[in-house]
Amino acid sequence: MVPSRLPRLAALTLTTALLASGPVLAGSLPGGMPLPNFSLSPDHWGGVYDQIGLGGRFGHVEERDVNGTTAINGFTGSYGFGYGKQFNHVVLGVEADVMANSGDSSSTPPGQTASNKVSNPWLGALRMRLGYDVGRHFLPYIAGGLAVGQIKVQSTGPDSNGAETNYDKLASGLIVGAGVEVPFGAGSRWGMKAEYDFVRLSPADGYNNQGTLVATHFEENIGRILLVHRF
């Protein structure tokens, strides 16, 4: 009967495939060409880790009463922790960190002498991370999630109508980015990341002392170098 022949047919097919792939299993292609080394690196990308980072930030603020955008640049320092799990070559994890930021924007409404200063003193992020272990101690990854930050708007003085703005609000939004991670030697618990992130927060609307709406839209680009320690 046909069903009784299936195990023998499967065994014959498997034997033929193994014989044909002999050179490949031996680490070479037909003709003696070596295979690329895509084996798993000896580094363990899973588990709990913390990280500290330094970098720069380059963004802009859009203000309704100025009718334009102004640059906001500065430096950032961060501390965070995360957890990862490795599934063969794929690394899936979650990270949380807080950034302390320097720098502010300065803009002057048309016809006025007083300026508005906008700053983002701190930013927190909770992200999912997806990486792929390409071997040779090298892990490229992408990440994305939720960002929350403080937006402060302050006037340098009253304008010609006596209006001043002074408020701060929490704004939430998105953070997405990509980077690479490398260890300091095979099996080392210490490593380094180079990472880029884009942040866009929801409008941080407020009012000046005369009840006029001041709408502030904030987004920035962040580049960081991080020192990573795995427990």
With a cut of 70, which residues of the chain have pLDDT below it? 1-43, 63-68, 106-114, 156-163, 211, 213, 215
Residue closest to 60 by CA, chosen among 175, 199, 206, 211: 199
Say which residues have a Cβ less than 8 Å from residue 126's Cβ, sequence separation at least 6.
Answer: 94, 95, 96, 145, 146
Q: What is the pLDDT of residues 74-92, one digit of tens each?
A: 999 999 999 999 998 899 9
Structure tokens belonging to residue 227: 């020192």
The DSSP element (H or E) to which 126 belongs, if any, is strand 122-132
pLDDT at 39: 43
pLDDT at 21: 41
pLDDT at 66: 55
pLDDT at 57: 93
Structure tokens belonging to residue 57: 């930030």
- Yes or no: say if 171 and 148 are a contact pair by the CB < 8 Å rule: yes
Place of tokens 């046909």: 2
State the Cα–Cα distance between residues 51 and 76, nearest whole angstrom. 14
